Chains A and B, each alone.
Chain A
């Protein structure tokens, strides 16, 4: 609270903060589940509701319209997604776009496939969309696409106009929706081959994006970050631009949902839990049968690689020495 800032009118304060949206959602939820919630008291219900909004757990299992309703909800959902599936990243598994969609739909049943596709396009540079992607690549691309969706849609329209050779000054940016976007994406794919390598001139694109930012109130990546990314090359394609934005650490920090890439997979609590579980599973049968020295060696191996899942672990025990990535992949 800064007493030197001019007083904001009450209605402006309320509309800026999205707080009315949460209040009306809270009432709607209360009405939908009257019996469940009222036995603890209405006040207690509101306390729980707003605590969960504050903690970011409120988006779990909610409908897509709610999840995307506010920047806070979007960031919360990205965070929930990361926390739920961090172990996938640790085990190093690569998944396809449809598999990521399934994971998302476990958290939000009506999560649209278009958004997952867009995120996959960023990772795969709009090429061979059914390739497998690593968890962290997908996660940061997904974050960018989901959090700044409206802005990126507009940038895509500008990009396409520039590709088609239209003057950037006449570009009209409608309040785009994903439905409007679909045919244009299809159109782009037709003449993709010759234009993919070229892209557009970064200076022109930077100008257009700057003008676009003036019209967007809040939900765009910071101008300086985008400028920095665009200044690195002379020509850029839409998806390589987005890829650079997705990897940009300061944009990630602004959104505030995910840690930096280096810390993305560190989760000591879960590691401990897994170690405990694995110890329970494997120690009980083996400790009876095998000699103490061999058993001890196996324990060391287990501790050394807590990130591999149990399936791999069994295989290691069968093989003679501690296996490496190569042997695993050659067997598959």
Chain B
């Protein structure tokens, strides 16, 4: 791959003057010295992994982010790098600002890949977790590898000072940011966050962190789908949908969720061991569930709901809350 980079750069692009053959050796040396091949390979891999719709914007963010990480102490990106523009003077910066900086970087990593791209998402969660772990005052930061599942679960109350995990307050803050970035109003996400809550003084192990982050990501998607579902149910100019219709749709949703339950939301925490055995059962349940919420079934229920059922209307907020409740009831509470 690195070779490829060099070969490509040795070919003069259309706009460049020809006759650079003699210089190409020097160029090659320069590029390898500066680590350009390595740098670009990393960037391309990240980009292909994330499959962003805006690869140029992705690369701009990626390099800005890298730059702000590597040269702490020099001036920030001078043009157009947005939030990364502030300086990162590790030593002189007050702790709160530094924490905010790390939180921003962690959120940036979490945003890179959709949670359905599971391996990419997991990598990013890991990176974000390690970043947030840095905020705890420790000497040997960069390399404090914790096993992907081990962490320091045996001493969860040891406190922030140990560096054994992300502090509870930071964890909660991260989840709040994820939900609000996902377009979920604070009032809707509050009950979910109560389920996932950790105390501020606790050190959050990696598994719990990953569970929380993943749940928030899925929840944001779910709420967006629910909002879209409501938009489908109510006709755009006729005001709010009738309560009967809304309840019928929610009932179908609930039924589908119940079918798939047992392995739904909490798929990551304790499913590791039994994963292989359960895989088949899971797949069958998911198929059943998706059949239950198929357009045909839904239309059928809606026709039924229109003729009978309670009167009155149901506005978007109420529908959203009801849908959120269905989801949250299936979230495993973090103790």
Task: Please report A residues at the B interface, Cβ cutoff 8 Å.
Answer: 1, 3, 7-8, 10, 13-14, 17, 19-25, 27-28, 30-32, 34, 38, 40-44, 46-55, 62-66, 69, 72
24 intermolecular pairs with C-beta atoms under 8 Å apart: A3-B116, A17-B55, A17-B56, A21-B13, A28-B12, A31-B9, A38-B34, A41-B70, A41-B71, A41-B74, A44-B71, A46-B43, A47-B67, A50-B56, A50-B62, A50-B63, A51-B60, A51-B77, A54-B60, A55-B80, A63-B15, A65-B14, A66-B14, A69-B14
Contacts of A53 in B (CB 8 A): 56, 60
Query: Do A51 and B31 form a contact, CB below 8 Å, given A31-B9, A42-B39, A43-B39?
Result: no
Query: Do A44 and B77 form a contact, CB below 8 Å, given A19-B59, A32-B16?
Result: yes
Contacts of B70 in A (CB 8 A): 41, 43
Instruction: Say how far A270's CB is from chain B's closest CB, in angstroms.
Output: 20
Distance A42 CA – B43 CA, assembled complex (angstroms): 13
In this complex, which of A34, A51, A62 has the most chain B Cβ atoms within 10 angstroms of its Cβ?
A: A51
In this complex, which of A8, A32, A42, A55 has the most chain B Cβ atoms within 10 angstroms of its Cβ?
A: A42
A-B contact count (CB 8 A): 118
Query: Do A42 and B34 form a contact, CB below 8 Å, given A25-B13, A63-B15?
Result: yes
Interface residues of B in 61-96 (CB under 8 A from A): 62-64, 66-67, 70-71, 74, 77-81
Residue among A31, A54, A64, A69 making CB contact with B56, cutoff 8 Å:
A54
Is B254 among interface residues, defined by CB-CB distance under 8 A? no
Is B48 among interface residues, defined by CB-CB distance under 8 A? yes
Residue among A3, A22, A27 making CB contact with B9, cutoff 8 Å:
A27
Contacts of A27 in B (CB 8 A): 5, 8-9, 31, 36, 40
Distance A32 CA – B62 CA, assembled complex (angstroms): 23
Distance A329 CA – B5 CA, assembled complex (angstroms): 60
Query: Do A46 and B39 form a contact, CB below 8 Å, given A3-B114, A41-B71?
Result: yes
Residue among A21, A31, A49, A63 making CB contact with B27, cutoff 8 Å:
A31
Contacts of B34 in A (CB 8 A): 38, 42
Task: Please report B residues at the A interface, Cβ cutoff 8 Å.
Answer: 5, 8-9, 11-16, 23, 27, 30-31, 34-36, 39-40, 43-44, 47-48, 50-53, 55-57, 59-60, 62-64, 66-67, 70-71, 74, 77-81, 114, 116-117
- Chain B residue nearest in CB terms to A17: B55
Contacts of B63 in A (CB 8 A): 43, 46-47, 49-50
Which secondary structure dominates where chain B touches chain A? helix
- Chain B residue nearest in CB terms to A27: B9
Is B114 a contact of A19 with CB atoms below 8 Å?
no
Contacts of A22 in B (CB 8 A): 56, 59
Contacts of A3 in B (CB 8 A): 114, 116-117
Instruction: Say how far B192's CB is from chain A's closest CB, in angstroms.
Output: 21
In this complex, which of A3, A14, A47 has the most chain B Cβ atoms within 10 angstroms of its Cβ?
A: A47
Distance A40 CA – B70 CA, assembled complex (angstroms): 12
Instruction: Say how far B19's CB is from chain A's closest CB, in angstroms.
Output: 14
Distance A52 CA – B64 CA, assembled complex (angstroms): 12
Contacts of A38 in B (CB 8 A): 34
Contacts of B16 in A (CB 8 A): 28, 32
- Chain A residue nearest in CB terms to B54: A54
Besides A3-B114, A46-B63, A66-B13, 15 more A-B contacts (Cβ < 8 Å) are A14-B44, A19-B56, A20-B8, A21-B13, A24-B8, A25-B13, A40-B74, A42-B34, A43-B66, A46-B59, A47-B63, A47-B66, A47-B81, A54-B60, A55-B79
Contacts of B43 in A (CB 8 A): 46
Is A1 a contact of B44 with CB atoms below 8 Å?
no
